[in-house]
Amino acid sequence: MQRFINDPDNVVDDTVRGFVKAHRDLVRLSETNRRVVVSTHAPKNGRVGVVTGGGSGHEPAFIGYTGKGLVDAVAVGELFSSPTAKSFHDAIKEASGGAGVVCLYGNYAGDNMNVKMAQKLASKDGIEVAVVVANDDVCSAPPEEREKRRGVAGEIFMWKIGGAKANEGASLEEVRATAQKAIDNCRSIGVGLGPCTLPAVGHPNFQIEAGTMEVGIGHHGEPGIRVEPLKTATEVARDMAKIVLDDHALAAGTEVAVLVSGLGATPLNELYILNDTIEAEITGRGLTVYRTYVGNYFTSLEMVGATLTVLALDDELKRLLDAEARAPGFQG
Amino acid sequence: MQRFINDPDNVVDDTVRGFVKAHRDLVRLSETNRRVVVSTHAPKNGRVGVVTGGGSGHEPAFIGYTGKGLVDAVAVGELFSSPTAKSFHDAIKEASGGAGVVCLYGNYAGDNMNVKMAQKLASKDGIEVAVVVANDDVCSAPPEEREKRRGVAGEIFMWKIGGAKANEGASLEEVRATAQKAIDNCRSIGVGLGPCTLPAVGHPNFQIEAGTMEVGIGHHGEPGIRVEPLKTATEVARDMAKIVLDDHALAAGTEVAVLVSGLGATPLNELYILNDTIEAEITGRGLTVYRTYVGNYFTSLEMVGATLTVLALDDELKRLLDAEARAPGFQG
């Protein structure tokens, strides 16, 4: 393992400590829970708080989206593991400004369980918690079972739009409904070219043979819909766009936001190569690209690969996407 | 090679095309040279233009720093190769607003030669070009031969500060002098844990044995000062900080900006682990960290490793560092 780590069991604590030092103008550690990162712009009173959380190893997700106009508090899990119910609960308390808290997270069994428990605990504190569960990964279940799909990079749009709505002073129900609309309007797909290794394990927990790629891979190496010979970037991008857009079925003329994210070890230039074809495929279907994001927005340690997310926009979503945000992993 | 590419000989064109599509609000391709990227905020008249350029494969450097309050035009080279003199010349013409152009680039033989030729060509056009040559890589030559040192991630601070100074309406000589001060105040070091592969070559042009690391490695795999067994992140970060700060020899109380950049395939969380110790080492010497940047700011394809840059600040540099900038690879 060619990695910059200390004790493999301390990777998350070491990461969070270095993260808070780097971005102390935007974030702080909770005083009561070292697995909760809090925005320096978290609501003191009167506006809805926004919480997320998830396993570590996806940086800048989740902690990097803590900041102004984005997420108020993040529950931090071990590498690729859900945060505890206590951490979600503590994050909710940190984000609470008296107007309720919305918890915007991804559809994974551990997170579902722990958020539910945290919601009950917060209820006893008198904090009303609404939830939105991201399920944008089109390859993780068929369309008729959308509720089983996993949440992937579409969560970034959910956080951005939910955070902006909360920042406008909307009610808990309004923030929940708008974040729900954002994720309902998202479809994502991942393609993996190489695995990643949890430091405490020391070897990859899945394999991708050289010369092949896994279409539809999940953020933790969950199997995709097929393994096939590695194609050219143009062909891969066409496949990714086709799978996402076939599932999305958007009317011609729809404006979309596009997010091409690396999974950790793919050079940025290759994401741009993918985007060249992705944009052509999108506009070829009569859609208009309103805004494009390319970079390492939601990673999986040093996995080689990329994800594509397409968000269908309306006037409200455009306004909220464009609203000012300032977080370590997202500015704009 | 597990890569998202088409024809290996077209990697740069494919990249630039996808890049311009993604960020058309901020950049455009030159109409006369497909290897020149131009800011949509390039000067129309009256202010100094800012140009850089270099080999591709370092994204977001160099093209990602084209934008508002940053670089006005970038000459784009082949992977790890200097742009041509013609491309530098065309970039200078694109950035010219009648008040002269400053070319802020890194100390490599090909770039030096081609910038010099471009400068002569621009002179015939009546465009005065001042140059600043970055040489922040402390391990590439001893202190008594600083002029031989290579330019690495400190270039980002040079661009940011030079771009902000030009944006304030300063004269060509003022912009040059301030960008020169920025790079003079920078020291950088790289540590490599794994090599990278040029697609057209198909295999790494240097090796890093598993279990070892190369201290002082350059952005193209240039040899460092020593190869040694891979240490813990804390030990690596201490070594990086010691080498940079011993060379820098800053007075206690100096404020610094810190940039920890990944080289392409190192997970972001590991950069934060390094930063945890780097900050402790810096403050342990009586210096104050004014601002920290952590991420993939200047990469080398899929090289595994990280660089540390320390910039000594004064009031002018702080103001220029904090000035608004908006580019695909840098916002803030």
Name residues whose C-beta falls within 8 Å of residue B44's C-beta, 6 or more positions apart in sequence: B97
Query: Does B199 lie in the same domain as B300?
Result: yes
Write the CB contacts of A295 (distance below 8 Å, at least 6 apart in sequence). A261, A262, A268, A271, B60, B296
- Note the pLDDT of residue B170: 97
If asked whether residues A31 and A174 sit together in one domain, one would say: yes
- pLDDT, tens digit, 9 for 90 and up, residues A254-276: 999 999 999 999 999 999 999 99
d(CA B60, CA B234): 27
Reading the block at residue B84, the tokens are 């041509």
Which residues in chain A touch residue B269, judged by CB atoms under 8 angstroms apart? 11, 15, 56-57, 59, 301
Structure tokens at A241: 């766009």
The verdict on A141 and A194 lying in the same domain is no
Across the interface, of B15, B193, B293, the residue whose CB is closest to A273 is B15
Considering CB atoms only, which of A22, A276, A302 is closest to B14?
A276
Task: List the structure tokens of A196.
Answer: 């990643």
Residue B231 structural domain:
186-312
Cα radius of gyration rounded to whole Å, chain B: 19
Residues A244 and A205 in one domain: yes
Give the per-residue pLDDT at B64. 98
Task: Please answer yes or no on whether A208 and B269 come within 8 Å at the CB atom.
Answer: no
Partner-chain contact A274 B16, CB within 8 Å:
no
B57, B267, B332: residue with CB nearest A269: B57
- Residue A149 confidence class, pLDDT cut points 50, 70, 90: very high
For an interface test with B, which of A1, A2, A7, A220 has the most B Cβ atoms less than 10 Å from its Cβ? A2
A-to-B residue pairs, Cβ atoms closer than 8 angstroms = 196
Please report the pLDDT score of residue B44 as a whole number: 78
Q: Active-site residue among B23, B58, B89, B248?
A: B58
- Rounding to the nearest 10 degrees, give the CA dihedral for residues B221, B226, B228, B231: -80
The candidate with the shortest Cα–Cα distance to B307, out of B210, B143, B186, B179, is: B186
Which residue spans within chain B are E strands per DSSP?
Answer: 27-29, 36-39, 49-56, 73-79, 101-106, 129-134, 186-194, 212-215, 226-229, 255-262, 288-295, 304-312, 326-327, 330-331
Based on the fold, state whether residues B161 and B236 are members of the same structural domain.
no
**B273 → closest Cβ in A14, A237, A274:** A14
Min Cα–Cα distance to chain B from A100, Å: 31
Please list the residues that pair with B106 across neighbouring strands: B134
Assess whether A229 and A262 both reside in one domain: yes
Question: Are B273 and A2 within 8 A, CB to CB?
Answer: no
DSSP state, B137? Answer: B
CA dist B40 and B37 (Å) reads 10
Q: Quick check: A58 pLDDT over 90?
A: yes
The DSSP symbol for A325 reads -
Are A311 and A207 a contacting pair, CB within 8 Å?
Answer: no
**Chain-chain contact of B266 with A4 (C-beta, under 8 angstroms):** yes
Taking contacts as CB-CB distances below 8 angstroms, the residues of chain B near A4 are 193, 233, 236-237, 266, 270-271, 273-274, 306
Cis amide linkage into residue B223, ω under 30° from 0: no
Q: Is residue B157 in a domain?
A: yes
Task: Identify whether residues B148 and B197 lie together within a single domain.
Answer: no
Among A184, A206, A234, which residue terminates a domain?
Answer: A184
Average predicted confidence (pLDDT) for chain A? 97
Instruction: Assess whether pLDDT exceeds 90 at residue A205.
Output: no
Q: Is B2 a domain residue?
A: no
Contact at 8 Å (CB) between A297 and A260? Answer: no
**End-to-end CA distance of chain A, in Å?**
36
Asked if the structure places residue B234 within a domain, the reply is yes
- Statement: residue A46 has pLDDT above 90: no
Look at residue A323 and tell me if it is in a domain.
no
pLDDT for A48 equals 98
- Which one of A23, A58, A89, A219 is the catalytic residue? A58
Has residue A233 been placed in a domain? yes
Domain finish residue from A149, A184, A219 = A184
Task: Judge whether B58 counts as a catalytic residue.
Answer: yes
The CA distances from residue B190 to A86, B136, B285, in Å, are 40, 11, 21
d(CA A177, CA A169): 14
CATH number at residue B250: 3.30.1180.20
Using an 8 Å CB-CB cutoff, list chain A residues near B293: 22
Domain edge (last residue) among A166, A184, A202 = A184
Tell me, yes or no, whether A210 and A240 share the same domain: yes
Answer whether residue B80 is part of any domain.
yes
Residues B213, B171 share a domain: no
Q: Does residue A319 form part of some domain?
A: no
Tokens of A217: 């891979």
- Chain A residue closest in CA terms to B273: A15
Pair B177, B244 in one domain: no
Test B269 with A15 for CB contact under 8 angstroms.
Answer: yes
Helix (H) or strand (E) holding A293: strand A288-295
One-letter amino acid at A329 equals G
Determine, for residues A15 and B234 on separate chains, whether the beta-carbon distance falls below 8 Å: no
B184 Cβ contact partners less than 8 Å away, ≥ 6 residues apart: none
Residues of B in contact with A294 (CB under 8 A): 18-19, 22, 328
In A144-203, where does DSSP find H-type helix?
A: 154-167, 172-184
Low-confidence ranges of chain B (pLDDT < 70): none
- B203 tagged catalytic: no
pLDDT of A312 higher than 90: yes
For chain A, helix, strand, coil in percent to 5 are: 35, 25, 35
Task: Specify whether B190 is located in the same domain as B165.
Answer: no
Phi, psi of B17 (to 5 degrees): -65, -45
Instruction: Write down the pLDDT at residue A88.
Output: 98
Residue range B270-308, pLDDT digits in tens: 999 999 999 999 999 999 999 999 999 999 999 999 999
Average pLDDT over residues A71-84: 98
Taking the alpha carbons at both ends of chain B, their separation in whole angstroms is 36
Q: Is B82 helix (H, G, I), strand (E, B) or coil?
A: coil
**The pLDDT of residue A31 is above 90:** yes
**φ, ψ at B63 (rounded to 5°):** -60, -30
Per-residue pLDDT band for A332 (boundaries 50, 70, 90) equals confident
B166: domain CATH number is: 3.40.50.10440
User: Containing H/E element for A129?
Assistant: strand A129-134
ipTM of the complex: 0.98
Distance from CA of A5 to the nearest CA of B (A): 5
Beta-carbon contacts of A169 under 8 Å, excluding residues fewer than 6 positions away, are: A46, A47
The Cα of A66 is separated from the nearest Cα of chain B by a number of Å equal to: 15
Count the domains in chain B. 2
Of residues A23, A89, A219, A220, which has the active-site annotation? A220
User: Does residue B160 sit in the same domain as residue B260?
Assistant: no
